Amino acid sequence: MKTPAIVLNFKAYTQVVGEKGIKLAKICENIAKENRVEIVVAPQMVDLGVIAKSVELPVFSQHVDPVEPGSRTGHTTPESVKGAGGAGTLINHSEMRMRIADIDFAVEKCRQLGLETIVCTNNLNVSKACALVNPDFIAVEPPELIGGDVSVTTANPEIVRNTVNAIKDINPNVKVLCGAGVKNGKDVAKALELGAEGVLLASGVVKAKNPKDVLMDLISRIK
């Protein structure tokens, strides 16, 4: 995943189920290609394979289970994400929390498989702890701002700046993203100004009347 990047989490919204998810992924692909910017999509697990085959974009899963392959009914292994054409995965999203030992297992297994990892964190201490398991990215997202109308870059710019500085000290290999309430190009520009290398967002695009217009505004400050 190149940076700066816009990482679009489809979550479990009905607006992106099945064909609707493929349609949004194709909109992201066209915008990314025409404007030479990095857009990553994270569809629902059941749609990952078909979307990975439908677009030339990095397609990430929203989660992987920290288990080895085998008799694991209902689990999603990192191997299955790789096999479906995934390029990486979110780990420890606020809506799918994990224990640090499981985060460590998942990051290491993904590294072995060549899957990039974005470990999501809810505050500075969790970001510092997760930097030690050496993910590719840490995405700091204050849970109280997720899904809201005010961007983390406006409501709490300090957490972005402090996370960037702390991670640089602990593990300079890890790049920092931020998310929660990100809605427009101004929020993206502010995130980059604070030292983040991209944003992680969902509702501002997935629930928009015209996702293409929102995406064009988001990328206007990174191209």
141 is catalytic: yes
Q: Which of 55, 54, 42 is nearest to 88 (CA)?
A: 42
Beta bridge partners of 201: 8
Marked catalytic residue, from 93, 108, 116, 197: 93
Q: Which C-beta is closer to ligand G3P: that of 79 or that of 154?
A: 154
Query: Using the rule CB under 6 A, which residue among 66, 86, 198, 204 binds ligand G3P?
Result: 204
Kindly state the smallest distance separating residue 195's Cβ from ligand G3P, in Å.
19
Q: Tokens for 101, please give them.
A: 């030992």
- Whichever of 49 and 143 has its CB closer to ligand G3P, that residue is 143
Range in contact with ligand G3P (rule: CB under 6 A) among 16-24, 77-85, 106-114, 199-207: 199-207
Pairing of strands 5-9, 60-61: unpaired
147: contact with ligand G3P by CB under 6 A? yes
H-run or E-run covering 28:
helix 19-35
The HSE-up count of residue 63 (CA atoms within 13 Å, CB side) is 18
Residues 82-111 that bind ligand G3P (CB under 6 A): 93
Helical pair 100-113 and 124-131, crossing angle rounded to 10 deg: 50
Token couple for 184: 């427009």
Q: Considering 141, 144, 158, 197, which one is annotated as catalytic?
A: 141
Q: Which of residues 160-179 bind ligand G3P (CB under 6 A)?
A: 179
Tell me the residue nearest to ligand G3P as measured from the CB. Answer: 203
DSSP H or E run through 38: strand 38-42
Active site residue 79: no
Residues that bind ligand G3P (CB under 6 A): 9, 93, 141, 146-147, 179-182, 200-204
Catalytic residue numbers, as ranges: 93, 141
